[in-house]
Structures are given as structure tokens and as C-alpha cells.
Structure 1
Amino acid sequence: MNGKATDGELGAKQSRHRLERGRGALGPALALVHTGQAPTRSVLTSRLGVTRATAGAVAAELESLGLIRVDPRPAAASGTQGRPSHRLEIAEEGPVVLAGQVHADGYRAALVGLGGRIVATAPGCVTVGADPSYVLGTLVAEGVRLLAESGRRCAGVGLAVPSAVAEPGGEALNPLHLEWPAGAPVRRLFTEAVRQHGLGVPVFTANDINLAALAEHRHGAGREAGNLLCVATGHRGVGGALVVGGRLHLGSAGLALEVGHITVEPQGRPCHCGRYGCLDVETDPLAFLRAAGREPAPGRSPLAEATRLLAEEAGEPAVRAATEALTDRLGRGLAALVNILNPDRIILGGLHRSLLEAAGPRLRAAVARDSLWGLSGSVPVRACSLAHNSLVGAAELAWQPVLEDPLSVLVPA
């Protein structure tokens, strides 16, 4: 042998060098594909600010990890000119995360892939018992069953709960609409259930509206917003979240944005917090039903019944009056938040989404009228667009370590 490297060896060496230079770009590249911001390799190259060769090596490495698929047939995007580029897609049979959600009217487990796609869901339970350990253990068992049936690798586990979740311990401070004790160690109980089933993956727990906002920012109506405010009714009460620069604003202990306790009716109903007329009790589904002179139908949640009224009986005088009253109260609350937070977009979920669809002009006018800058300070108000956004948000928490460093999570030392 003459000691000279062959062309093949040189090519392999150059490819390794390109990958080493681009290794730090694996996470950012995966995040771009995950959020739909890099549909082709040429767009990935531009967004990462690397050479085509480095972007190609990065895409190939992500494909080898089973995370994405690179279409081997390059094609120009419709309506564009220039060199064709390989399309990048989420791998259909790649890893998943186990996501769970608990709310006042039930709980559910699901498997969620990259791109925010729900792969499989368990039927869900409609009764939440008073023992959080039992509920979370049942939820995890259902998720593990889904994993076994799918044969897919699990990269992490996330849980959404209807309560402020204190950091760093993960206690549910105010599960007001559950029978759970205040301060229940939800994260510890959830982690124990996950470990009992043999899953040695990262485990995360957070507030459901925070997670809904995160999911909407990455995959839904909040995309591209720099300062995104999300307000939603959930199944009971009202929650809010703020996403700034792609990250949730949680405050010093994870308790920021308790928007449900903004006063919108000083002489209004007593709230669970001890005050009166809070957004939480003046604009949630129960408030709407009471304003319309109705009660939830047997076996139906207040949210489902309120949404049905808006869809099927919006012309009834009592329903129309309730719609106007709640829209005005919600507008006052949103205006107060606009004055404090100065978001560049507001998205609404749950019953608030239905109010926006039923009385959008009235709601937008109320926000503009009551904000400090009036019409000149108006903010776009849109409806949340994802089904099960809190569940998808729980999955986003579990995917985050992979998005930050795919190799360290999926190829441990």
C-alpha cells in the first residue's frame, strides 16, 4: 500500500468534517423541520446560515436517527425558480413521546410525534378521582399500552394539568376544579408512575394553558408571534399564558399569568380566590350558562353545553344577551392584559374561541376601546387552531430535550 487515501476515504473524511462542523446545528435544524419552517434542504441551509454541504450532512444525520425523511427526488417548490431542493419531512415511523392531560371532566393519554402530530390516543376517562396517584398511574398505564401497541420508541413523557404548577418541585398549587389537595406533588407522582412502568426517559409537568400556548406558537395560530398572549376557558375557569421569543414566560416560580383573577365585574360573583368578579368566574362556561338561564345537560360538560348553545341557539334572546355580556367582560380583561403585556397577538381557546367566532367585531372593539391607546393600539385577536392543544403542548415539553440536542438524548453515551 502506498499510504495514500482513496477517493472514497477522502469523501468519507470530508463528510465527517462537515458533520462535525454542523453537529451543533442538529437541534436547530430539527426544530425548524418540527415547526414547519424548513420544508426543503435549501430553506434549511438559509435558515441555519451554513453551506449546502453542511446542511446536507445535518439532514442526513437527522434521517439516520429516524427523526426526519429526506426526499431523494429534489423538486422545485410550486411557483419558484432556481435549483430544485430535497424536501424534508417528519419520519412517519420515528420516535414518539407519551403525553397526558388531566382536566375537570376527564383525563387522556396519547402518543405524539414530531410536528405536533397525534399518533394514537387512549379512549380517555371521564371521571377524575380524588387520589392524584391513582389517576396519574392509570393515565401512564394507558400510555404504556399505546406504546406497546405501536412498537415505537418513546423519547419522553409530558403532562398537562389544570393548575398552576410551582417550580422547581412541580406541585399543583390550585387544582380548584379537581378534588385533589392543594399542593399535590403531581410531578413526583407522575414520575414515579412512569418509572414503575420501566420508562427511563425525561418526565415533565406543567399548567395546561401554558402548554396550549406553547403548542399554538409552534404549530398553530400563534406561529411567528414575538409576544403571544393566550387566554382560554379550558373546561372550568380561565387561564392565560405568554410566549416571548419562543419561550414560555413563567415568572420566578412558574406562577406567572394567572389572568383568571383580573377583576372585570367589581360587584360580580365570588371567586375561588376570595375576591369578586374575576375573569375566572365571569367568562367561563358556567358563567355563560347562568347568564343564559341554563344548566348543563345531564352527562355533558359545561364547556360542551355552552359551545352547543352558541352554535345552535345563538338567536335566542337569552343566549344573545349572555353572549354580549361575556364578550364585554372578556374584552375588559383582554384590554387590561394588553396594557400590561403589550402582546403582538392574542389567541383565544375554549369558550372564548366560540365567543370570538360569534361576536368578533364586538370583542375586538371592546379590547380597542378599553386599552390605553384605543384603536391605534389594537392587537390581532385570533382563535386557537389546534385540536387538543394542551395535549400537544405536553408533548412539546417532552420533545424539548431532543430539539436541543438530538444525539445526547437518542444516542446516549
Structure 2
Amino acid sequence: MNGKATTTRTRLDRGRSALGPALELVHTGRAPTRAVLTAELGVTRATAGAVAAELEALGLIRVDSNPGAAAGSQGRPSHRLAVDEKGPVVLAAQVHADGFRAALVGLGGTIVATAPGCVTVSADPAQVLGAVVDAGAALLRESGRRCVGAGLAAPSAVAEPEGTALNPLHLAWPAGAPVREIFAERVRAAGIEGPAFTGNDVNLAALAEHRHGAGRGARDLLCVATGHRGVGGALVLDGRLHTGSAGLALEVGHLTVNPEGRPCHCGSRGCLDVETDPLAFLTVAGRDPGPEVSLLQQARDLLRTSRDDPGVRVAVGELIDRLGLGLAGLVNILNPDRIILGGLHRELLDADPERLRAVVADRSLWGRSGGVPILPCTLDHNSLVGAAELAWQPVLDDPLAALGREPV
């Protein structure tokens, strides 16, 4: 080995532990140039260069070979860094009350391809998860891309460490279904490479938004969302999901916001889950839900096309007040520095942002003292992107080990 190669290997050996952190910085868009990467990692320019070169050799990022200085800038131009658009992907899957979807997701949270599934979810979780994995496997065959893992977003609290779906309330699945085990078995049977993971859909939406969307830069991020049925919540603390001792934290859908309200599946009454979801919106607006499209789409369409309708205005006001009451209680308990809203809640925020923020401020100690920013989620299919984040995590932790490679 010549002297130059020895020097390069020595730099890489010093920076090998920085491969994962460096990849995560590029993955989340926080290191757009090698100069920023150097500063963020706290290493020498030479070491940062060796790390970037190794990640490029692994097919994970691209390093601009002809850097150019921005107009009006001074000093040496820096090499730009970006994820490799032709690099490996992971399989992401999501199941909800109205169907399922499979996708291929690259680094940077980029959805490469999607395959929507059926609109009726079977009572047999093995059949459903087998179908969504088959859809993902077909996408992989068509793409010809390498797959390094798989992730599933489930509409239920997922108990740790067993990986069981404890309360798939809006599916006909049995409580305690071993969804992680079933999903992993189907992934292996389909010949898909890499480990398989499963998590709660709103937890994963929050993780995706924190890394790639409306939650970027937040330290204590609260996410509340209503999808096709029900309401879920998640909390990200210092960049990591807070899931509690057994994966069951932040079941915000079962906060009571109307003691005399609708019966809830949990046995209580007036929970967020049944007071602020799409079915509640359609019911208060005086509309009978139809079978043609999902409840979420029906509620969104009604809000978009009939906002001036008296019944729709009443529904908007009632759901905002109930949602604001629930958020205020969460602010008092959790003291987040940002709240993001997904699903129909995002549309309710857009319909009357001042009313929602006023309810939260009036009903919460910390809301009155300074105000907590309330923002809409910004990612399409954020639960899918979050499922992909689970699968990408081993690569972010140790790229060489996850890809089965030795340093070049």
C-alpha cells in the first residue's frame, strides 16, 4: 500500500465512527455541503472528505465533483452532498381501516414508487400483511433496486418487545395479533433482504415529520392526527420517539373532551377518538357516510367544497373546540415546543387557525404564557415514510455493517 493510500485509510479509520452520523446528516438535509458536514461532525476537513467518499462508494450519497461557490460568497467553494437517487431502498407498508399501501422509499425520505392496495381489509392479519408485502415485492422487481429492510405502520399501539397489535380498534383483527412476527415472516418468504420492523402509524408519522417535515428543528415535538378512523398521538423527545416502557405511550385518542359525548371503543365516552375523527365530522355536518371512498376523503371533500354550508361550519367549530381542549391538556402535561397536526386535523387547522390556537391558549397554562406553535404536517404519506425510517435506522447506525461491506 502506498503512502497516499495509507494516509487515506488512516483518516477513514479515525472517521469510521462518523459514517453513521454523517449519513444521518445528509439523510435529514442538515449537511448539504462537505463544509457543513465537517463542522457538524467536529472533524478535520480531510476526515470529512474520507467519510463522504466512503458513503459515496457504498452507493448511499453523491458528492459533487465540481463544487461552485454561490453568487456573492467568499472563500473556497464546498462540495455539495446529496443522497444517491439510484441507491438502495427500503420497503415501507401501511395498513389502515380502508386499505393498505406499499412503497419503496430511498434515503432522504423520498418515495420512489407506491402501490395502493385493496379498500377492504380482511379480518386475517396474515392475509393482509402477505398481500401488502407481495405488492412491495412486485415494486422491487420492477425497480431492480437493492432493498435493505422493511417497515410496517400499523393502526394500533404496538407492544414492546413482543410486537403485538394490542388494540386494532378499527380493524377486525384480534387484539394481540403478532403483527411484527407475521410481517417479518412474509418479508422473508418474499425473498426481501434486510430486517423487518413494525410500529404504530402515528408514532411513525411523527418520526418522519421530525426528520423531513414540519417537525424539523423541534426538540419536544407533539404530533396529533386523525386518519381514516380514530385519533392518535406521538411525542418526539430530543430526536427520539417517546414510546414509554412498553411502546404504549401517548394514546391521546382516549382523552375525554366531552363527558356526555359519543361512546368510545375503549369503554369511555366523548374521547378525542370519536369526537374529532372523520366520522364525527360527517355526523355533525349532517352527512351520511357513503361506501365509495374512505371516510377521511369524504370529510376532506366536504370541507373543501362546502365550507360555507351551515352544517359544515357547525362541524368545523365543534371539532376544533374538542380538539383544542384535548391539545390544551396535552400542553399542560407535556410542555412541547411545537405541535403538528395530521390527517383531517390539518384541514381543521387550515379552516380556522385562530380559533384552534385561541382554544389551546385559553385552556392551557403554558399556552397562555407564550404560545405553542401549531403547524400542519407537510409530508404526503408520512406514516409510510416513518415506516421506512425504521428500516433505514440500522443503516444510519452503522452503514458498513448494515450493507455487509468493508471500507474501501
Aligned to 1:166: 159
Q: Which moved more, 1:140-149 or 1:167-176?
A: 140-149
Selected match of 1:218 from 200, 208, 211 = 211
TM-score (norm 2): 0.98
Amino acid at match of 1:410: L
**SS of structure 2 residue aligned to 1:159:** strand
Alpha-carbon distance change, 167 to 12 in structure 1, aligned in 2, over 3 angstroms:
same
Selected match of 1:375 from 364, 368, 372 = 368
Partners of 2:328 and 2:71 in 1: CA distance: 42
Show CA shifts across 1:35-60 (max 9, x none): 00000000000100001000000000
Aligned to 1:131: 124
Aligned to 1:111: 104
Does structure 2 retain, via aligned residues, the 8 Å contact 1:371–1:377? no
Amino acid at match of 2:178: P
Alpha-carbon distance change, 78 to 177 in structure 1, aligned in 2, over 3 angstroms:
farther
Aligned to 1:29: 22
Show CA shifts across 1:252-304 (max 9, x none): 00000000011100111110000011010000011111111112233121111
Instruction: Give the deviation of 1:83 after TM superposition.
Output: 1.4
Instruction: Give the deviation of 1:108 after TM superposition.
Output: 1.0
| % identical aligned pairs | 72
Aligned to 1:262: 255
Does structure 2 retain, via aligned residues, the 8 Å contact 1:27–1:406? yes
Amino acid at match of 1:173: L
Aligned to 1:81: 74
Q: How many residues align?
A: 406
Does structure 1 retain, via aligned residues, the 8 Å contact 2:331–2:367? no
Aligned to 1:301: 294
Q: Over the residues paired in the alignment, what is the CA RMSD in angstroms?
A: 1.1
Amino acid at match of 2:77: P
Show CA shifts across 1:181-208 (max 9, x none): 1110100111111111223411100000
Question: Gaps (5+ residues) in structure 2?
Answer: none
Partners of 1:176 and 1:120 in 2: CA distance: 29
Aligned to 2:317: 324
**SS of structure 2 residue aligned to 1:230:** strand
Amino acid at match of 1:11: K
Alpha-carbon distance change, 92 to 374 in structure 1, aligned in 2, over 3 angstroms:
closer
Selected match of 1:243 from 206, 222, 236 = 236
Does structure 2 retain, via aligned residues, the 8 Å contact 1:97–1:154? yes
Partners of 1:243 and 1:126 in 2: CA distance: 31
Alignment of 1:31-46 (within 5 A): 31-46=24-39
Instruction: Give the deviation of 1:376 after TM superposition.
Output: 1.7
Does structure 1 retain, via aligned residues, the 8 Å contact 2:335–2:366? no
Amino acid at match of 1:336: G
Instruction: Give the deviation of 1:77 after TM superposition.
Output: 3.6
| Residue 19 (structure 1) aligned with residue 38 (structure 2) | no
Does structure 1 retain, via aligned residues, the 8 Å contact 2:235–2:241? yes
**SS of structure 1 residue aligned to 2:289:** coil
Selected match of 2:332 from 335, 339, 342 = 339
Does structure 2 retain, via aligned residues, the 8 Å contact 1:105–1:235? yes
Amino acid at match of 1:391: L
Amino acid at match of 1:75: G
Aligned to 1:411: 404
Aligned to 1:282: 275
TM-score (norm 1): 0.97
Amino acid at match of 1:155: V
